[in-house]
Amino acid sequence: MALDTFLFDLDGTLVDSVADLATAINLLRAELNLKPIVQETVRRYVGDGARMLVQRALPADLYRDAHLERFLFLYRAHLLDQTRPYPGILDFLDSCEPARMAVVTNKPYLLTMELLSGLNLTSYFGAIIGGDSCRTKKPDPLPVQTALRQLKAHPRRAVMIGDHHTDLHAGQAAGLATCFCTWGMGNDGGVPSTFRAYSPFDLVRIFPEVAS
């Protein structure tokens, strides 16, 4: 079966958001009298949702749920300071039908919608699934399956595209092909993928039927 449905992770796949995530993390750390951490460290902490990001960015004995809420408040204030789509992403999105594309992210749904709207990306997607849209997050397959249902798409015709092993696990468990994006913030964790893209510009080459 030809692939005609594309599910995307958000941070590290569609958009480069590490600078704004690092800003919010370091504002939170400053409020707790902690020294700032560099962007590359924050980059390694991304991929498993906001709670895990904050837990990783704070000493284990310091984390409280109130710190997560404060981080989300600070991040929302800086959501679009520097975050932009990766070069080449719009080329691929422009070649696809919105009814055949979805965002499946572990970022909270409200922040996801504000980010996509602020970057004029919302209209590209027929389904948008946030980290709190389902009872589980990636790597559980439920968010991927939910997106497929909303698109009325068959898993054998779909591919999960992301920069983290959580994307690969979720896609595989839902019966999809997977594409690992090496340009992002995450890592594949040794999980094999059907395709491997080294640049957003590779997506049109890997899926040429979309642009034909």
At residue 211, the pLDDT reads 53
- CB-count exposure of residue 92 (10 Å: 0-12, 13-18, 19+): buried
The pTM assigned to this predicted structure is 0.93
Q: Which two tokens stand for residue 19?
A: 């600078």
d(C-alpha 72, C-alpha 77), whole Å: 9
| Of 24, 22, 61, nearest in space to 43 by CA | 22
Report all structural domains of the chain as residue ranges with CATH numbers, in order of start. 5-16+84-211 (3.40.50.1000), 18-77 (1.10.150)
Query: Which residue do the tokens 């399956």 mark?
Result: 145
Q: How far apart are CA 186 and CA 174, in angstroms?
A: 20
* pLDDT mean over 153-159: 97
Residue positions counted in the chain: 212
pLDDT at 212 over 80: no
Task: Give residue-wise pLDDT tens across range 65-86.
Answer: 999 999 999 999 999 999 999 9
Q: What is the secondary structure of 150-163 as a DSSP string?
A: HHT--GGGEEEEES
pLDDT over 70 at 53, yes or no: yes
Alpha carbon 49 to its chain's center? 9
pLDDT in tens, 111-148: 999 999 999 999 999 999 999 999 999 999 999 999 99
Would you place residue 210 in the very low, low, confident or very high pLDDT band (cuts 50, 70, 90)?
Answer: low
User: Which active-site residues does the annotation give?
Assistant: 9
